[in-house]
Every structure is written in structure tokens, then in C-alpha cells.
């Protein structure tokens, strides 16, 4: 098996060198989460930017985290120009010096003339990052199989809805969801989680469904698990679910109660080549229009206030208005929690360790 | 007689023994040159990375690289109460300086991460304080720092800092063995809720042994058939063994997912024939069972092939002789046939067991929650938590376990008896 891996690595290395050798100096590699999300970026950012500048964007997929960036930076061989990361990773990567500091003054004003610094939502402009979208973890079910799901507490109610559940393999954001299902208000979740008793309470709630849980790791999995009938309810990223509903006509329902939302941001690995072209792409892709366009491909909320009014309908169905499907739409936002990046920067090592130990017992 | 300055003429007069020694030396050198590419390859791709892993597991300079003056000063502290005002001053000044550094491996964030491994929740203490440290222009530094965050008044922070100031430390092995440092710096057992590695090591060994055993049970008759069947049938059988062997590992693992999942082929058939109800579908994957089934299938050829190559060389006349002299078939098998297959059996067992103990992709895909092996935890620390030192410590422990088993194996069976085909 090792041999196979080694061979694959060598082949990949050769292929990469060949691609790198043949690429023009101004081409950039942009790395994102794959699937419907990357598709929305290709349509709204990559293709139009290519039209303006003639530079090509090479799109690569990954599963989040800082491992690849860290490995590239420490080896002094950075091949990724720009990466789409979560806020906690943007902050941690910046602290550890593996990301370039971003100059926010070069970002264009909003289409309505508001300066970028005021146009972006709070938190979207971090020291080493420029935000692009709001996304959310929600839970979904198949309306053709079960009806009458009423809020997050039902996700943990095996008596009312027997059958398997799908959860992301990791402590985040399952602990938050467990506490909210246990009656903790979103505003108090991180306060409760900061105590040993609160952590115990969250794990105790997870214990109630542990034996009926299927654990997923990449964002493409949960809609598939639900479609295959492997689970009756699962957590998922709201954009991917919407795509399964709107493009593939799946009878899935998004439950917004207790959603945990987070930001995605662009970061540049330290020492990446072609930074001028990369910054040009960042400016282009986080402009009012590009962010609004992106939202017509997938319901991830743009991080510029000036984009809100410009969000139109689904790209393939003009009758399908996108605004009500955004995580930030008022009707979806009644019981919502923002992921606390500082809490996770402090506690992810410890909580994931406990989570891993809990999982195997 | 040898001279200090031999010429060709003199060489001709050298005794035969020395001439022979010379030519063999040249030949040996030539032979060594031929192996040089392999030696270099092994050095670069095997010895060097493993050496680096060993080094990483005990070496971590994330404190001394970030706050160098403080790392020296804190060594003077006796661990009672809080460090002196002078040490606090050095720390605040180092921290303010470090805040401006953006060099990889030398930022405050790097140090914060290092301390956070041992004191969960302290990461933001460092990053926050570093932002404000530059504003402290004069003493008393102790009070100023504690004003920023009262956690600085906790002696445990300073004990941890003192410990982590040593570049070489066993702290990652402490973590890898489900131990931890307590408030006073003694090594104690970690809270049971956080214990994971030792149990997982034992589980990995046990699963690898079980998989090896199942492989022996399944491979022995197949290898026997392969060695005694007429050429035409045995060729066909051989192809059936080799075809999956040549198929990509990922394809085979995914095929098992399709077969075993709750909506998969086997469950569908069982439901169709009424063996189980539609709501009583059996969970055969995403757990230990799935890991065992898929790994046995993938590792089976490594058992069959060495067994086959040994069985092929066993003369059927021996068994016939034993039987003709009145031995019962089972007795003849046990005393005559089985001992002759030991070299193949030993080779296959060793191969399968060592491959199984470090298996990674298959358990990651089909292991679910309780079918994960130690290599999956190592991968977790390399890829997700980015605690490479802990990953290295776990990797080193795995290496030691394998070498130990190899040594025991060598004592019991003798490695020179192995026959891989």
C-alpha cells in the first residue's frame, strides 16, 4: 500500500511540475471546498476575471484546515496562491505566521460608493484575510420520509423520529448544537461550554444519539447520506443542501433552528508566488457585483452590505428568489449562533481530543 | 614481501593470496558502487525522514525561539509562587518584540499553540497579551501583565512555560501515553475522558492479530489448492487471487462500502429473502466489522502468495510416504506437511501483521467511530490538529512496537527461515 501511495505522490509531483512549467506567470491556483461551492466561485469569480485580465485560475479542492498551507510554507515550496478558509483558521494561520498580511486599503469601494472598511460586515476583514461569504451548518431531513420536524430538539429525539443521524466528525459545531438542543440559548452557548460542567452536558446530550450516528467528513457527504437513506436527518452546509433541492429536485427540508454560521475568507499562504495577480483576483472577487453574482449560484450570503440588494434569483431558475434561502435572511435567523473563532482557537485541541476519545469508547 | 612503493613488476611478484585479496577488494568496491543508488535512496527517503521524526518527537523550540531571553531567565526560577519582577520584565519585553515578528515558527502564535497543548484554553492569553505588551513602558511589570489578564497570576502558566522552554523534552511522549503534567508539574494519569492513545494501541495490535489470523485461515486452503490443482485450474485460481491484488486499493474499499452498507447489496438480499426485516438492516460497515472485512480482503494475497510459493516446492511423495507407512491423514499432515509450510506461513504472517498495524486508508474510509487504528490518530495530528510533535511521538512508539515484535518473532521463528517466494 505504501508503494502505491509513494507512486501516486511521485506521479502527482511530476504532473504538478509539468503544469507549473507550462503555466504562464500570471496564472494563479485558487483552492476551495469543492462541489457546488467551488462551482459558484468558478462562475462568479474565475470566469469573469479571466475575461477581464486573460489570467487563468486553476481551481483545486481541499477539505479545510491549515495542514497543507503549513506544509507548503514550512517546506518553502508554496504552490497555492489563494485559499478559502474558515475564520478560526484565518486567525490561527495569521498568528502562526504562515499567511501573508492583507492590505485592506486596496479593496474597492462598494458599488454605492461606501468605502470597503465600512461596506464589509464586522469581522470580515481580518489581519491576514478578506471575507467573502457567510455560510451555515444546518440540519436537514427528507420530507418524503418524515414530517413534522419541529426544531433542533427533534434532531436529538430518537423516540419521536427513529433512525440514523448524520453529524460532522469533530467537536465543532456538534457541542454547540447539543447544548442548543438541550435548551441553552444561542447567546449563552459559549459561556456554558467554557465550563467543565457545560462540556459534560454537551457530551451527555450527544451520548443520547451516539449509537445512531453516522459521521461525515466532507461537505458533499451529508446530502448523499440522506439521499441514500443511510440517515433520516443530518447536519449539512446550507449551500450544498440548497443545490441538492434546487438542481436535483430532492425533497430535502432545511431546518434553520439552531443554525451555526461562520465566515469564509480568502487568505494568501506566506511566500506564495504571483501575489500581485492574486490580490487583483481578491479585489475582483470581493467586489459588490462578484459577491452578489456568487449568491445566485449558491445561497451563501455575501459579506458586503452593498451586495445584499443586488442578490437576484437562482441562475437556472429565474422564478427562484435567492434572498430567503440565505443564512442571514430574517426568517432563518431567529435562533442562530455565530461560531466563536476565539473559543475554538483556545479549545479545539482539548475538545477534539476528548471528542476522539469519546468516539472510540 | 610487501614494499612501500609497489610497481607493476613488483605486483607480479606478490604472493597469490594478496593478489586475490586485491581483486576481491576491487570487486567488492564495484559491487558497492552498484548498490550506491539504492543506499542513497534509502538514506534520503527512509533513514533521514525517520530520523527527523524521532527528532521532532522530542524537540520543540517554539518557546525559546519566540522569547529567547525569557527562556534563559525562567530557568533560574525555583517554581515557588510567581517568577521574580526581573523575569516578568524580560518576558514583557520579549513578548512585545515577538509580536512584530512574522517569520514562520517564531511568532507569538507558535508559542501560544505550544503552551495550549499542555494548558488548554491558554492560547488567547498569549495572543491577547502580546498585542498589549508593547504598551507596558515601565514597571512594575508583574502587576501590569496581571492587569491585562489575571491568568498570569496562576503559577501553572509559568511552570508550563518553564518546562516548554527546554527545546528537548519528553512532554509529547507524556501526552502520547495518556499522561499529563498536573498543577505542580508532576506527571500523572490524564483524565479518563481524555485517554485515547494506549487503548488505541492495544486495539490496533489486537485487530492486526485478528486480521492476520483470519488471513491464515482463509489463505491456507487456497494456497494448498493452488499448489496441487492441475495447471489449467490453478492458473484460473491464481488469476482470481491476483486480479483484486492488481486493483486499486481505493476501488476495493469503495466496493466494500457498496456491498456492506445498510442500503447495500447484502442487506438488500437479506431483506428480499425475508431473513431480516426492512427496519432490522445490519450495520456491517463504518464500524470495526467493516474494517476487519475490508482489511482481510485487501491483505489476503500477501498471505496466499508466500504460502503458495513454499507449498509448490513440497514434494507430494513425502505425504504419500507417510500415509503408506500407516500414518493417519491428519497426523501425517501435522508432522510432515505443516512443518514444511512454516517458512511461508511465517513470512505471510509477518507481512500481513506489519502491514495491518500501520494501515490507514481503509480504516479511515470504513472504520466509522470504533474501527479507527493508531495510524488514523497519527494522521489526525499531522493533518488536522497540526500537532506534528505529538504525531511524531505516536509514530515513534508505533515503530518501536513493530521493531520489538520483529525481535520477538526473530527469536521464536528465526528471520533467516522466512521465505517470501
* CA-based torsion, B249, B254, B255, B259: positive or negative: positive
How many angstroms separate the CA of residue B122 from the nearest CA in chain A?
A: 6
pLDDT at B400 over 50: yes
Q: Are the Cβ atoms of B124 and A73 closer than 8 angstroms?
A: no
The percentage of chain A sitting over the pLDDT mark of 70, rounded to a whole number, equals 93
Predicted confidence band of residue A22 (pLDDT cuts 50, 70, 90): very low
Considering only CB atoms, B384 lies closest to which of A65, A96, A354, namely A65
Show the cell assigned to A19. 503544469
3-state secondary structure of A336: strand
The predicted structure's pLDDT at residue A4: 53
pLDDT at B6 over 80: no
Q: Which of B384, B390, B109 is nearest to A98 (CA)?
A: B109
The predicted structure's pLDDT at residue A19: 46
Q: Is residue B339 part of a domain?
A: yes
Q: Is residue B85 part of a domain?
A: yes
Mean pLDDT along residues B40-62: 93
Q: Which of B42, B49, B109 to mutate to test the interface with A (most CBs of A within 10 A)?
A: B109
Grid cell 609497489 is found at B6
Predicted confidence band of residue A270 (pLDDT cuts 50, 70, 90): very high
Predicted confidence band of residue B391 (pLDDT cuts 50, 70, 90): very high
| Angstrom distance (rounded) from CA B221 to CA B223 | 5
How many angstroms separate the CA of residue B301 from the nearest CA in chain A?
A: 12
Residue of A nearest to B261 (CA): A230
Report DSSP letters for B135-168, one per residue: T--SS-HHHHHHHH-GGGG-HHHHHHHHHHTSSB
Q: Is residue B301 located within the same domain as residue B364?
A: yes
- Burial of B113: CB neighbours in 10 Å, binned 0-12, 13-18, 19+: buried
pLDDT at B382 over 80: yes
Give Cα A40 to chain centroid, integer Å.
13
- Burial of B367: CB neighbours in 10 Å, binned 0-12, 13-18, 19+: buried
Cβ atoms within 10 Å, residue B191: 12
| 8 Å CB contact between B63 and B113 | no
Q: Is residue B270 located within the same domain as residue B398?
A: yes
Domain end, chosen from B169, B184, B216, is at B169
List the domain boundaries for chain A. 2-134+263-332, 137-261+339-360
Report DSSP letters for B159-221, one per residue: HHHHHHTSSB-SHHHHHHTTEEE-TTS-EEEPPGGG--HHHHHHHHHHHHHHHHHHHHHHHHH
Considering only residues 42 to 81 of chain A, which have any Cβ-Cβ distance to chain B shorter than 8 Å?
65-67, 70, 73-74
pLDDT at A6 over 70: no
Considering only CB atoms, B103 lies closest to which of A97, A213, A352, namely A97
List CB contacts of A331: < 8 A, sequence separation 6 or more.
A256, A324
B248-303 pLDDT, tens per residue? 988 999 899 899 988 889 999 999 998 888 878 888 888 889 999 999 999 999 99
The predicted structure's pLDDT at residue B370: 79
Q: Are the Cβ atoms of A1 and B359 closer than 8 angstroms?
A: yes
Cβ of B101 under 8 Å from any chain A Cβ?
Answer: yes
Whether A137-261+339-360 and A2-134+263-332 are alike in CATH topology: the answer is: yes
Cβ of A350 under 8 Å from any chain B Cβ?
Answer: yes
Mean pLDDT along residues A293-300: 93
| Angstrom distance (rounded) from CA A212 to CA B262 | 13
Predicted confidence band of residue B5 (pLDDT cuts 50, 70, 90): low
Which class is domain A137-261+339-360? alpha beta
| 8 Å CB contact between A311 and A252 | no
CB contacts, 8 Å: B384 with chain A: 65, 67, 352
The predicted structure's pLDDT at residue A33: 92
Mean residue pLDDT of chain A comes to 89
Q: Which residues form the domain of B223?
A: 197-417
Q: Are the Cβ atoms of B196 and A360 closer than 8 angstroms?
A: yes
Mean pLDDT along residues B164-174: 93
Q: Is residue B259 located within the same domain as residue B384?
A: yes
Q: If you compute the radius of gyration of chain A from its CA atoms, what whole number of angstroms results?
A: 21
| Angstrom distance (rounded) from CA B368 to CA A214 | 7
| 8 Å CB contact between B158 and B135 | no
The predicted structure's pLDDT at residue B1: 44
Mean pLDDT along residues A276-300: 94
Mean pLDDT along residues B85-98: 92
Domain end, chosen from B122, B150, B169, is at B169
Q: Are the Cβ atoms of A354 and B248 closer than 8 angstroms?
A: no
The predicted structure's pLDDT at residue A12: 52
| Angstrom distance (rounded) from CA B34 to CA B161 | 52
Where is mean pLDDT largest: A54-63, B3-12, B257-266?
A: A54-63
Q: Are the Cβ atoms of B195 and A92 closer than 8 angstroms?
A: no
Q: Are the Cβ atoms of B249 and A342 closer than 8 angstroms?
A: no
Q: At what angle do helices B231-246 and B197-228 cross, to 10 degrees?
A: 150
CATH architecture of the domain A2-134+263-332 equals: 3-Layer(aba) Sandwich (3.40)
CB contacts, 8 Å: B190 with chain A: none
pTM (two decimals): 0.84
The conformation of residue B40, written as its DSSP 8-state character, comes to H
The predicted structure's pLDDT at residue A23: 43
Considering only CB atoms, A97 lies closest to which of B104, B261, B262, namely B104
Q: Is residue B232 located within the same domain as residue B110?
A: no
The predicted structure's pLDDT at residue A5: 52
Q: Is residue B366 located within the same domain as residue B409?
A: yes
Show the cell assigned to B242. 491476483
Considering only CB atoms, A4 lies closest to which of B196, B249, B263, namely B249
pLDDT at A309 over 90: no
Considering only residues 108 to 147 of chain B, which have any Cβ-Cβ distance to chain A shorter than 8 Å?
108-110, 112-113, 116-117, 120-124, 127
| Angstrom distance (rounded) from CA B241 to CA B250 | 17
Q: How many domains does chain B have?
A: 2
Residue of B nearest to A194 (CA): B121
The predicted structure's pLDDT at residue A310: 87
Amino acid at each position: 500500500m505504501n508503494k502505491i501511495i509513494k507512486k501516486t505522490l511521485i506521479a502527482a509531483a511530476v504532473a504538478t511540475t509539468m503544469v507549473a512549467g507550462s503555466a504562464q506567470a500570471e496564472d494563479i491556483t485558487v483552492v476551495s471546498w469543492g462541489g457546488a461551492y467551488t462551482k459558484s466561485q468558478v462562475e462568479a469569480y474565475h470566469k469573469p476575471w479571466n475575461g477581464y485580465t486573460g489570467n487563468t485560475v486553476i481551481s483545486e479542492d481541499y477539505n479545510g484546515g491549515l495542514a497543507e498551507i503549513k506544509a507548503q510554507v514550512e517546506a518553502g515550496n508554496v504552490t497555492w496562491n489563494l485559499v478559502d478558509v474558515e475564520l478560526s483558521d484565518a486567525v490561527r494561520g495569521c498568528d502562526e505566521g504562515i499567511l501573508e498580511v492583507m492590505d485592506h486599503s486596496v479593496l474597492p469601494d462598494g458599488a454605492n460608493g461606501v468605502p470597503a472598511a465600512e461596506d464589509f460586515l464586522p469581522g470580515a476583514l481580518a489581519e491576514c484575510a478578506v471575507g467573502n461569504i457567510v455560510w451555515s451548518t444546518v440540519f436537514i431531513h427528507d420530507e418524503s420520509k418524515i414530517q413534522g420536524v419541529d426544531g433542533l430538539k427533534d434532531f436529538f429525539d430518537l423516540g419521536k423520529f427513529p433512525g440514523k443521524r448524520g453529524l460532522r466528525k469533530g467537536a465543532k459545531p456538534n457541542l454547540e448544537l447539543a447544548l442548543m438542543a438541550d435548551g441553552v440559548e444561542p447567546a449563552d452557548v459559549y459561556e456554558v461550554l467554557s465550563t467543565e460542567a457545560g462540556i459534560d452536558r454537551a457530551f451527555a446530550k450527544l451520548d443520547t444519539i451516539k449509537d445512531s450516528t453516522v459521521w461525515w467528513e466532507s461537505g458533499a457527504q451529508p446530502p448523499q447520506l440522506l439521499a441514500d437513506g443511510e440517515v433520516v436527518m443530518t447536519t449539512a452546509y446550507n449551500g450544498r443542501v440548497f443545490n441538492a433541492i434546487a438542481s436535483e429536485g430532492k425533497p430535502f427540508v432545511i431546518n434553520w433552528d439552531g443554525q451555526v454560521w461562520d465566515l469564509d475568507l480568502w487568505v494568501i499562504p506566506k511566500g506564495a508566488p504571483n501575489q500581485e495577480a492574486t490580490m487583483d483576483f481578491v479585489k475582483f472577487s470581493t467586489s459588490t457585483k462578484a459577491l452578489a453574482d456568487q449568491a445566485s449560484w449558491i445561497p451563501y450570503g455575501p459579506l458586503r452590505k452593498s451586495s445584499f440588494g443586488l442578490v437576484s434569483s437562482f441562475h437556472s431558475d429565474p422564478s427562484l428568489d435567492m434572498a430567503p434561502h440565505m443564512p442571514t435572511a430574517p426568517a432563518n435567523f431567529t435562533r442562530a449562533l455565530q461560531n466563536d473563532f476565539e473559543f475554538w482557537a483556545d479549545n479545539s485541541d482539548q475538545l477534539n481530543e476528548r471528542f476522539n476519545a469519546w468516539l472510540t469508547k | 614481501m610487501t614494499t612501500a612503493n609497489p610497481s607493476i613488476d613488483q605486483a607480479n611478484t606478490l604472493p597469490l593470496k594478496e593478489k586475490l585479496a586485491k581483486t576481491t577488494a576491487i570487486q567488492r568496491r564495484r559491487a558497492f558502487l552498484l548498490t550506491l543508488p539504492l543506499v542513497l535512496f534509502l538514506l534520503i527517503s527512509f533513514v533521514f525522514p525517520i530520523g527527523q521524526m524521532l527528532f521532532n518527537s522530542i524537540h520543540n523550540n517554539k518557546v525559546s525561539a519566540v522569547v529567547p531571553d525569557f527562556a534563559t531567565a525562567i530557568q533560574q526560577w525555583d517554581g515557588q509562587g510567581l517568577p521574580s519582577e526581573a523575569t516578568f520584565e524580560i518576558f514583557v519585553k520579549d513578548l512585545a518584540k515577538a509580536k512584530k515578528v512574522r517569520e514562520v515558527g517564531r511568532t507569538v502564535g507558535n508559542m501560544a499553540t505550544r503552551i495550549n497543548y499542555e494548558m488548554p484554553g491558554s492560547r488567547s492569553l498569549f495572543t491577547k497579551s502580546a498585542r498589549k505588551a508593547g504598551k507596558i513602558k515601565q514597571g512594575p511589570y508583574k502587576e501590569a501583565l496581571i492587569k491585562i489578564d489575571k491568568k498570569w497570576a496562576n503559577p501553572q502558566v509559568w511552570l508550563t512555560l518553564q518546562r516548554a522552554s527546554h527545546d528537548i523534552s519528553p512532554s509529547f511522549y507524556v501526552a502520547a501515553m495518556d499522561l499529563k503534567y498536573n498543577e505542580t508539574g508532576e506527571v500523572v494519569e490524564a483524565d479518563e475522558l481524555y485517554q485515547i492513545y494506549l487503548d488505541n494501541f492495544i486495539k490496533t495490535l489486537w485487530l492486526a492479530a485478528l486480521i492476520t489470523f483470519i488471513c491464515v485461515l482463509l489463505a491456507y486452503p487456497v494456497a494448498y489448492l493452488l499448489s496441487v490443482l492441475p495447471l489449467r485450474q490453478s492458473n484460473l485460481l491464481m488469476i482470481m487471487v491476483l486480479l483484486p491484488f492488481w486493483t486499486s486499493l481505493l476501488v476495493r474499499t469503495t466496493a466494500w462500502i457498496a456491498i456492506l452498507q445498510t442500503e447495500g447489496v447484502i442487506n438488500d438480499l437479506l431483506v428480499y429473502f425475508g431473513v431480516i426485516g426492512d427496519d432490522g438492516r445490519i450495520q456491517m460497515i463504518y464500524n470495526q466489522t467493516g474494517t476487519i472485512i475490508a482489511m482481510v480482503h485487501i491483505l489476503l494475497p500477501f498471505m496466499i502468495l508466500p504460502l503458495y510459493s513454499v507449498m509448490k516446492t513440497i514434494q507430494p511423495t513425502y505425504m504419500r510416504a507417510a500415509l503408506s507407512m500407516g500414518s493417519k491423514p491428519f497426523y501425517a499432515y501435522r508432522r510432515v506437511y505443516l512443518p514444511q509450510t512454516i517458512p511461508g506461513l511465517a513470512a505471510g504472517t509477518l507481512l500481513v501483521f506489519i502491514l495491518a498495524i500501520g494501515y490507514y486508508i481503509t480504516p479511515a474510509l470504513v472504520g466509522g467511530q470504533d474501527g479507527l487504528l493508531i495510524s488514523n490518530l497519527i494522521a489526525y495530528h499531522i493533518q488536522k490538529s497540526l500537532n506534528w510533535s505529538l504525531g511524531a511521538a505516536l509514530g515513534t512508539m508505533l515503530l518501536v512496537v513493530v521493531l520489538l515484535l520483529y525481535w520477538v518473532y526473530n527469536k521464536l521463528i528465526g528471520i533467516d527461515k522466512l521465505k517470501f517466494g
